[in-house]
Amino acid sequence: MPPRPTPDRQDGGIMQLGSQITRTRLARALALLSLAAAVLLTAPAPAAAQIEMQSFYQGYRPTVSREDIDALIATFELDEAQEALVEAIYAGYRNAYNEASDIVRDELRAIQETMSLTKNEGVKQSLYNDYARKREAWADESRRLETSFFADAKALLTEEQDGRWPRFERDRRRRAGLLIGARLMAERVDLVAVLDSLDLADEVREACDEVVERYGIEFDRPLSDRHALCDRMERLAGDADGKGNAEDSQFRSLEERIKRLHVELRDINLRFMEAFKSRLPKDEGGRFEREFRRRVWPRHFAADEVEQDAGRVRSLAGLTPEQDRALEAILSAHDLRMEPLSRELVEVEMARELLRRWPTGRPGSGGAEASGGAESGQAHEAIETRSQRLLNTRKSLMRSTINDIRALLTADQLRALSTAQGIGEEEQNRQ
């Protein structure tokens, strides 16, 4: 595909076609339900829902997903009639989107094929400009379709339900836009998704609602800013095209601001990880932190050899009550020794990531001139040495703990582990 073209905001046939398809398909879908027609025809024209992620979206898959519909139903506790209306509007949206995207995709492919065959530079430039206009028109139309869908869905809500709309918008921006432009690992995780993955008891989950609300509000502002600035940078990159120092200066300024937002989002996640952990019971808080680390730094925390070994011992070795209590004591002592190492490793990994991502111009450093190549190389070598030392220490500690667990077991229990056949199963097989 050709490189990103210079934006040209002329309305084209794609937008007109998309608008026509939208009206036709929505009308056809709403005709399935007379109640839907009645509500939408009598409702005032809703304001734009302001949920779209980027103005330069140029993909071909609907930007409103099934997950968004499920979230609408759950967040607003829609009744049966409202749920049916939302489903009908969604069907119309998908039909409109898919038909419009199929058309624009075919047109763009045809232009690309013609460009690859022509030798005339004037014709090639004209085709390139046409390609750019159609891509930009489709970007606008894709946004309009998304905003129109959410505006229509919002019009179905009662006054009481409408009060929850800002929270729905924040949750959707975080859910759908978290990975758009993300750079740092701890910036890429939705803590609410981590919390919900634990399948907590209702009363435990409800105790976290206040933290969930604060997290959603605090994370949303820098996330929205990151989207907006990345969009501006993309526009600037397309407009500048090597025009000189003014654009270079603007680009560096935007880049520095975006770097700071990456770090701010990372730090909000780290701070609220501790807030959620403190709100949960001790065992559940530990599970939350472990799951967070696994998602952020899977290379180091995805597989816990001690946890896996303890699970195998409990399932296969037929522990006595005394052995089970001893195993718990070993695991508690292991966690106490492991936690300082894990926290230091997290700090090292975050510093290592900044060095790798921005080797000569880390956030707040003042740009590429802030540190020379030799200094950056020394810092990188030091952080790698420290990381390897911590990993070796953790590995030794895990081996030591597994040896302590083995020392609890009898010969028969050890044999059951080695054969992956439980004590009870072995007895049954002998009989």
Among 39, 48, 163, 45, smallest CA distance to 89 is for 39
Higher pLDDT, 239 or 122: 122
Least confident of 27-41, 270-284, 384-398: 27-41
Q: Using alpha carbons, list the distances in angstroms from residue 289 to 83, 127, 186, 272.
A: 36, 54, 12, 11
The token pair at 108 is: 């763009």
User: Does residue 339 have a pLDDT over 50?
Assistant: yes
Is the pLDDT confidence value at 10 over 60? no
Task: Over range 180-191, report the average pLDDT.
Answer: 93
Choose from 229-233, 268-272, 351-355, 379-383 the range with maximum mean pLDDT.
Answer: 268-272
pLDDT at residue 139 tops 90: no
Asked if residue 19 lies in contact with residue 252, where contact means CB atoms within 8 angstroms, the answer is no
pLDDT tier for residue 425 given thresholds of 50, 70 and 90: low
What is the model's pLDDT at position 38? 41
How much of the chain, in percent, has pLDDT values that exceed 70?
78
In the predicted model, what is the mean pLDDT of residues 64-92? Answer: 96
Percentage with pLDDT > 90 across the chain: 64
- pLDDT(312) > 90: yes
Average pLDDT, the chain: 83
Enter the DSSP assignment of 60: S
User: Residue 313: pLDDT above 70?
Assistant: yes
Q: Which residues contact 202 (CB under 8 A, 6 or more apart)?
A: none
Assign 32 a pLDDT band (cuts: 50, 70, 90). Answer: very low
Confidence (pLDDT) at 377: 75
Q: At what angle do helices 411-419 and 423-430 cross, to 10 degrees?
A: 90
The stretch 266-284 carries a mean pLDDT of: 96
Question: What backbone phi and psi angles, to 5 degrees, belong to 362?
Answer: -70, 160
Ranking 52-56, 76-80, 146-150, 386-390 by mean pLDDT, the lowest is: 52-56
Question: Can you give the pLDDT at residue 375?
Answer: 64
pLDDT of 424 > 60? The answer is: no
DSSP 8-state assignment for residue 360:
S
Angle at 34 between CA 29 and CA 39, to 5 degrees: 90
CB contact burial 29-40 (16+ within 10 A = b; e otherwise): bbeebeebeebb
- When pLDDT is cut at 50, 70 and 90, the band that residue 363 belongs to is confident
Q: What is the pLDDT of residue 373?
A: 57
pLDDT of 85 over the 60 cut:
yes
What integer is the mean pLDDT of 54-69? 79
User: What is residue 176's predicted lDDT score, i.e. its pLDDT?
Assistant: 87
Predicted TM-score (pTM) of this structure? 0.76
More confident: 401 or 371: 401
For residue 281, the model assigns a pLDDT of: 96
**How much is the average pLDDT of 275-291?**
95
Position 192 pLDDT exceeds 50: yes
